[in-house]
Chains A and B, each alone.
Chain A
Amino acid sequence: MDKRNLKGWLYLLPAFLFLVVFMIYPLIDVFIYSFEEGFNFASQSFFGVGTYNYSYILHDPYFLQAVKNTFILVIITVPLSTGIALLISLGLSSIKALRKLFQTVYFLPYVTNTLAVGLVFMILFKPTEYTDGLVNLIISWFGGSTVDFISGPYWAKMFVLCFYTIWVVMPFKILILTSALASVNQDYYNAAKVDGASTFKTFTKITLPMISPSLFYLIITGFIGAFKAYSDAVALFGTNLNTAEMNTIVGYVYDMLYGSSGGYPSFASAAAIILFAIVLTITCINLMVSKKHVHY
């Protein structure tokens, strides 16, 4: 009996070691850090315990800018990307020819390095020596006036960031929604057809309720993912995001930890916990809403 117990734990030991050292201990520690005031990295000492770290970052204009950027990003990209993904998935599941090809193409952004392809987006939007960049060229074809997307006005930069974020998250959403649509029994559609339902009615009354679990899963993970946005912004605007006014909450955490303004794990911890609290709240709200609307 004892030997059996020992054996079970022996198999678990490696996983447990990794988890305790790199997940459980840090998880507790981050809360402690966030309340240790005036923590000094070099001497590993601190002055006292309190909420100063929180009040400091909540008054830090860079943090407030990061919160604002993150919220704008979330509010724009989550509904937009989910909506477009739904549209594309519906289109995909209604065709036969070329379907495999489209699916493969649409999935490509998932397997690309966010940083690397972000650079491509940057040069698409960025002016070169003698031109205003490709996107501006297209804008001017349609008679619009050009704008500097990479170092120009705030809204233009935000547009590029949202655009790239949507481009990056799309493959996952399309994949989940197409498989959700494929798992709806064809008989339901046949029955609706025989019952004389219009295409629109079939969509709202049958398709949507049937895929609502997947849809809400996507919305929830979409919110969580968008709140953690960071590397897309780095790819487009470089590592000095505060100057570019394009920092995100996660970016702020890392900047506080390491980087130009780095060396303050206490501030970083406080920011990370605030982020975690925001994400947790939003997720709970999402779950409550989904309980009401998701069938089954």
Chain B
Amino acid sequence: MKVVLQNLTKKFPGRGKKSEDVVAVDNFNFEIPDGKLVGLLGPSGCGKSTTLNLLCGLLKPTSGKVFFGEDDVTDLPAENRGVGMVFQNYALYPHLTVRQNIIFPLQNLKGKDKMSKEEMGKKALEVAKLVQIDELMDRKPKELSGGQQQRVAIARALVKRPRVLLLDEPLSNLDARLRLQTREEIRRIQRETGITTVFVTHDQEEAMSISDMIVVMRAGVVQQIGKPQNVYDDPVNLFVAKFLGTPPINVFYGRIKDGGLYIGDGKIADAAGVPDQDVYAAVRPEGFILDDNGPLCCGLSRVEIMGRDISVVSTHDSAENPVIRSIISSESNVNTQSPEVRFSVKPNKLFVFSGQTEDRIRIN
């Protein structure tokens, strides 16, 4: 089932009499292809959860439309949409057992979809097996670990074969190790069921690792949509560049002058045909090459050896942050005694953004 968002806008009335409406989602256009896993990504308050609530019908859009396949479901209440949703805190009913929790959505089916008790039991067991909790069916939620609760929540969302599966920060309540494991699990379940899935997260690593596509949002406005690698390799603005990647991208205050990009006094790259202006020059940590004759001269703070790679921590007067973190192969030799270190920059890991609009300036 493909999902289409058409000019979707949601405004909330502002607090106080004179304050203006808060635009939580602004003119969102997107077509989610059938069977894909899409990550909605952005810092808190960017409108990603609102978007999710618009999709499941808990909120009504101020304007714009939502389609499931060819059906316009914009005004359809949540209970009739046939979506499955996993809430951030799972919202498992504490007084019901795992089995009763999973069966709950089935009991609400009406008309020709109505099921007998045995059918419900069978379905519940099927989906419990899929998420591997079939041995916990008679426990109550509080007797389960966080990861198990998460699986029950997913099972409950999946049991009625939803047209769309929605996950709201599904991993935020898990510890680091479980998070890694569970995100693979979500990926596997999504592949096996083939249900179009949208999930919301503020953790870019999470989104990058399992999504077919990611949507980066900021203050209600969609910044960029694409395959994770494409967005990482080709960010459209400074915000997206900064938001994706760990360690984060290194941003320098630079300028374009006479067809060259300068950071400090060093000419980092050619920028033929670009008018002179102040810019941000951003370099991915893996974009630095140790080069004794390189144009970028930084003060060396320390070198951290991390097995396969080494991380060179340095400083530069024009850098936005106090430290610059570069990751280079551990086979390189860094003279740790030297007070400074020189780099050249890989062109495909260097992005230039306008100093005014922060939009991307393409220099090659």
Contact = CB atoms under 8 A, between A and B. Distances in A.
6 contacts: A190-B58, A191-B93, A194-B56, A194-B79, A194-B157, A197-B108
A185 to B, nearest CB: 7
Given A190-B58, A191-B85, A205-B104, A196 B109 contact: yes
A188 B93 contact: yes
Contact of B87 (A190, A201, A205, A206): A190
Contacts of A206: 93
Interface in B78-103: 78-85, 87-89, 91, 93-96
Given A198-B108, A201-B108, A205-B104, A193 B78 contact: yes
Given A190-B58, A195-B104, A198-B108, A295 B87 contact: no
Q: 5 tightest CB-CB pairs across the interface, nearest first?
A: A295-B95, A195-B105, A187-B91, A196-B108, A191-B91
Interface residues of A, number: 19
Interface in A172-211: 185, 187-188, 190-198, 201, 205-206, 209-210
Nearest to A209: B95
Interface of B: 56-58, 77-85, 87-89, 91, 93-96, 104-105, 107-109, 156-157, 160
Nearest to B83: A194
A97 to B, nearest CB: 13
Chief secondary structure at chain A's binding surface: helix
B108 A194 contact: no
Contacts of A185: 89, 91
A296 interface: yes
Contacts of B89: 185, 187
Nearest to A212: B95
Nearest to B77: A193
Given A196-B105, A205-B93, A206-B93, 19 more contacts: A185-B89, A190-B85, A191-B156, A193-B57, A194-B81, A194-B83, A194-B84, A194-B157, A195-B105, A196-B80, A196-B82, A196-B160, A197-B79, A197-B104, A197-B105, A205-B104, A209-B93, A295-B94, A296-B94
Contacts of A197: 79, 104-105, 108
A180 to B, nearest CB: 14
B93 A194 contact: no
Contacts of B156: 191, 195
Contacts of A195: 79, 104-105, 108, 156, 160
B87 A210 contact: no
Contacts of B105: 195-197
A209 B92 CA distance: 13
B95 A296 contact: yes
B308 to A, nearest CB: 42
A194 B78 contact: yes
A291 to B, nearest CB: 14
B160 to A, nearest CB: 8
Nearest to B87: A187
Contacts of A190: 58, 78, 85, 87, 91
Interface in A274-296: 295-296
A208 to B, nearest CB: 10
Contacts of A194: 56-58, 78-79, 81, 83-85, 157
Contacts of B87: 187, 190-191
Contacts of B57: 193-194
Contacts of B79: 193-198
Nearest to A188: B91
Contacts of A188: 91, 93
Nearest to A210: B95
A3 B136 CA distance: 57
Interface in A201-253: 201, 205-206, 209-210
B149 to A, nearest CB: 13
* Central interface residue in A185, A192, A206, A209, by most chain B CB within 10 Å: A192
A295 B57 CA distance: 30
A128 to B, nearest CB: 49
A194 B59 CA distance: 12
Nearest to A199: B79
Contacts of A198: 79, 108
A295 B94 CA distance: 8
A170 to B, nearest CB: 27
A191 to B, nearest CB: 4
B49 to A, nearest CB: 11
A193 B88 CA distance: 16
Contacts of B80: 196
